[in-house]
Structure 1
Amino acid sequence: MAERIAKAYKVLKEESVALYLGGSVPEIGFIEPLRFYREYAAKNIPVVLRRGCANWPATLKWNIKYFREKFSHKKVSVAVTPNGLADGITKDQHGVEHFVTPCEVEMTMGDFLTMLENKSENLIPYIQRQNSNLTEDFPELIRDVETDIPFASEAFNKKPDAVNFWMGDERAVTSMHKDPYENIYCVIDGYKDFILIPPTDLPYVPYKRYPQAEFKKTGDTWHVQPITTVRDCDSMENSDGEATRDRGIEAPQMLPWICIDPLKPDLAKYPEFSKAHQYRVRLNKDHDDELNTIVDTELLPSYNW
């Protein structure tokens, strides 16, 4: 039975690439909403749209100088980590792997920008709060962008559920994960690299359950602090025969997460991962020969890693 299942997985992997995924992520220019939905979104195929948001004022404004001049004193929530992994797998001081969330720090935009300019080896900042933080935390930036991508809103017949603003440098890494949303990424300045794995390669992506923790910093020292819950013990009788209940024990909160890093895969431990297709994409801001701004947009369909 196991051999037959493995063979079926192999056929699925090969035919999905041959019949619709192809060998690389397609790059296109302007596209009609219906065609965008029919040829890419409905088929769960990622696609890069060159110049996807090149007409936004943000592409001419947003940089460190602009933010420092306009919003230097604005309070912002910043995810700070010692290794750039804001939500990912990190070993604690005993070598035990945890799913670790960042240390959330409130600071001024000016202080955040200074941290980006004056890099510290173990102090990596990243504005990455979700839940539509552009509209909730940065309303003053909305005039520089569109709160939806018109062709995508028409294709999906709805406005986006959330619009997020993320800002960091090349040290900030998002660990491999999947979302139940159709995501549209727009790179306003700099670049962002993606490694994408299609959902048809699910059998080759290893998961395990990890205890949850968060980064804490004391002085110059970072440590991984476990997140626990208190559970009541079963009732029991004391030496006098009376029913008692223990006050409870602390147990780690567990979370299933992908247990391999595609940037440094341990194929000796997870050899099946070598069978997964990895599509590598760089979204960036650039200029053509006529110095017109080229700003990339990407559809990352739901349940792709």
Structure 2
Amino acid sequence: MGAVALLYFRYRNLLGSKAVSVAVTPNGYADAVYDNKFVMPEERTMSFADFVDIIEKKTHSPGVFYIQKQCSNLTEEFPELMGDVEDHIPWMSEALVHKDHYENLYCVISGEKHFILHPPSDRPFIPYEMYQPATYKVNEDGTFEVIDGEPSDKVPWIPVDPLEPDLSLYPAYGETRPLHVTVKAGEMLYLPSLWFHHVRQSHGCIAVNYWYDMEYDIKYHYFQLLDSLTKAAGNS
């Protein structure tokens, strides 16, 4: 039995009947631009055992299922697992005294995470557009529908796909210098504040984030200046 299967087996025995929040999308892209809208996943509550059955393909269900929350699944929904991980990373806690949720340590427990990273200095070449917010909804026949949110709450988002950038639409993006990083099981990535990032993962990936507040020092003011100059130049 592989490492991922062992983890799921252990967690299923521990959490099997527990109700958890699951994000569901038709394509695996959560909080992303689709059909010129910023579409968020359908959020569904199900037992952890049912979720594992879908991940292990024992049960067929349309769409891509993913346990993820901006406000921490681990602490809010899986306190039983807190003993399996450190409550903080000591050397990072010592290095970062001032805090605001931007500094990120990305720890992969199983599987792999694939990152495309852009430093803040790439901001002049990265486009932003405003999008209608929406949410995926799964119909009874398994098809996905996009439900619009409030039209007044437009969302600023990056329209370019770094996997297949359309340089005819966004020629300036060709001037960026992206970094491609793969983080494997047992490895940790320090994702600095203000860096742009695109993330993919392997099947059955389990990871834990440690968030630390950023220091509002010269790098923050430099980025604000760069962002303002970019907007003033018309490269939103």
Where does residue 15 of structure 2 map in the other structure? 71
Deviations 1:24-56, CA, capped at 9 Å, x for gaps: xxxxxxxxxxxxxxxxxxxxxxxxxxxxxxxxx
Query: Equivalences for 1:126-165 in 2 at 5 Å?
Result: 126-157=66-97
> Would you say the 8 A contact 1:193–1:282 is kept in 2?
yes
Where does residue 109 of structure 1 map in the other structure? 48
Q: CA deviation at 1:72?
A: 1.1
Structure 2: gaps of 5 or more residues:
197-236
Q: 1 CA distance for matches of 2:52 and 2:18?
A: 12
Runs of 4+ in 1 over 3 A off after TM superposition: 59-62, 119-122
| Structure 2 CA distance for partners of 1:147 and 1:301, relative to 1, 3 Å | same
Q: CA deviation at 1:127?
A: 0.6
What RMSD in Å do the two structures reach over aligned CA positions?
A: 2.1
Mapped pair 1:193 → 2:132: no
Q: 2 CA distance for matches of 1:60 and 1:105?
A: 23
Q: TM-score, normalised by structure 2?
A: 0.76
Mapped pair 1:85 → 2:29: yes
> Would you say the 8 A contact 2:114–2:183 is kept in 1?
yes
Mapped pair 1:224 → 2:168: no
Q: 2 CA distance for matches of 1:252 and 1:222?
A: 24
Alignment equivalent of 2:157, drawn from 248, 251, 257:
257
> Would you say the 8 A contact 2:54–2:61 is kept in 1?
no
> Would you say the 8 A contact 2:62–2:143 is kept in 1?
no
**Percent of residue pairs bearing the same amino acid type:** 42
Length, aligned pairs only: 192
> Would you say the 8 A contact 1:134–1:141 is kept in 2?
yes
Q: CA deviation at 1:298?
A: 1.0
Q: Helix, strand or coil for the counterpart of 1:202? A: helix
Q: Which amino acid aligns with 1:224?
A: V
Where does residue 207 of structure 2 map in the other structure? none
> Would you say the 8 A contact 1:226–1:252 is kept in 2?
no
> Would you say the 8 A contact 1:87–1:99 is kept in 2?
yes
Q: CA deviation at 1:133?
A: 2.7
Q: CA deviation at 1:191?
A: 0.6
Q: CA deviation at 1:253?
A: 2.4
Deviations 1:180-208, CA, capped at 9 Å, x for gaps: 60011000011100000000010111110
Where does residue 299 of structure 1 map in the other structure? 190
- Whose radius of gyration is greater, 1 or 2? 1
Q: TM-score, normalised by structure 1?
A: 0.59
Q: CA deviation at 1:150?
A: 0.8
> Would you say the 8 A contact 1:81–1:124 is kept in 2?
yes
